[in-house]
Amino acid sequence: MVAVCPGSFDPVTYGHLDVIARARDLFGQVVVAVGRNSAKNSLFALEERVRLVESATAGWDGVRVAPLEGLLADFCARVGAGVVVKGLRFGSDFDYELQMAHINSAIGHIETVLLPAGPRWGTLSSTMVREVARNGGDVSGFVPPEAAERVRMVQAKEES
C-alpha cells in the first residue's frame, strides 16, 4: 500500500524522518510530498526542500520524494495513495491536522493516519530549527547533516 507523507519540510528534521520511516514500516511504500503551506514563508525554495529530503532518505527502501503542487488529494490520486500519514506533537497539531484530514477525506476520499511523534522529537519543529540557527546555535542534533550545513550557510549569508 502506498502512503503519502506531506509537509513543507523547511528544512526536514529528524522528527519528519522518524515519521517517514514509521509510515514506510506500516504501509510498505511512502511518497514524501514536499509542498507549500500558504500560511508560512519558506526559508528554502521548494526545489531545495525536495533535494534535502531526497538526500536524507537516499537508499531508504520504499521511500521516494516529489514536489507537491496543487491539492494533496490530487497528488494522492496521481501516485495511487489512499492514505496520508502525518506526525502529531501537541494539541495544536491535532486541531490543524483534523481539519486537513476532513478536507482531504471530503475532496479525495483520502484517509489520514496521525502518528504520535517519536518521544525524542516530540516538540521539534522546523520553525524552532530556523530560530536556533538564526541566533547562531548548532542545529546538527535536530536535522540531518546536509540540512544543517544549508541552514548554516543561509544564516551566514543573511548576516553578511
Cβ closest to ligand PNS, residue 113 vs residue 156 = 113
Which listed residue (8, 126, 130, 150) is catalytic? 126
List contacts with ligand PNS (CB under 6 A).
Answer: 6-8, 35, 37, 40, 68, 71-72, 100, 103
Eight-state DSSP code of residue 32: E
Q: How far apart are CA 71 and CA 43, in angstroms?
A: 22
Phi, psi of 43 (to 5 degrees): -75, -45
Which listed residue (8, 16, 24, 150) is catalytic? 16
Closest approach of Cβ 131 to ligand PNS, in Å? 16
Q: How far apart are CA 23 and CA 31, in angstroms?
A: 10
Phi, psi of 129 (to 5 degrees): -60, -45
Cβ closest to ligand PNS, residue 103 vs residue 154 = 103
CB 20 within 8 A of CB 63: yes
Active site residue 78: no
Closest approach of Cβ 137 to ligand PNS, in Å? 22
Cis peptide before 116 (omega within 30 of 0): no
Which listed residue (22, 36, 64, 89) is catalytic? 89
Active site residue 8: no
Active site residue 22: no
Which listed residue (40, 78, 102, 109) is catalytic? 40
Q: How far apart are CA 73 and CA 16, in angstroms?
A: 20
Active site residue 55: no
Cβ closest to ligand PNS, residue 59 vs residue 70 = 70
Cβ closest to ligand PNS, residue 103 vs residue 114 = 103
Burial 102-128 (b: 16+ CB within 10 A, else e): eebeeebebebebeebbeebeebbbee
In the bound state, the residue with its beta carbon closest to ligand PNS is 35
Closest approach of Cβ 6 to ligand PNS, in Å? 4
Q: Which residues are catalytic?
A: 16, 40, 89, 126
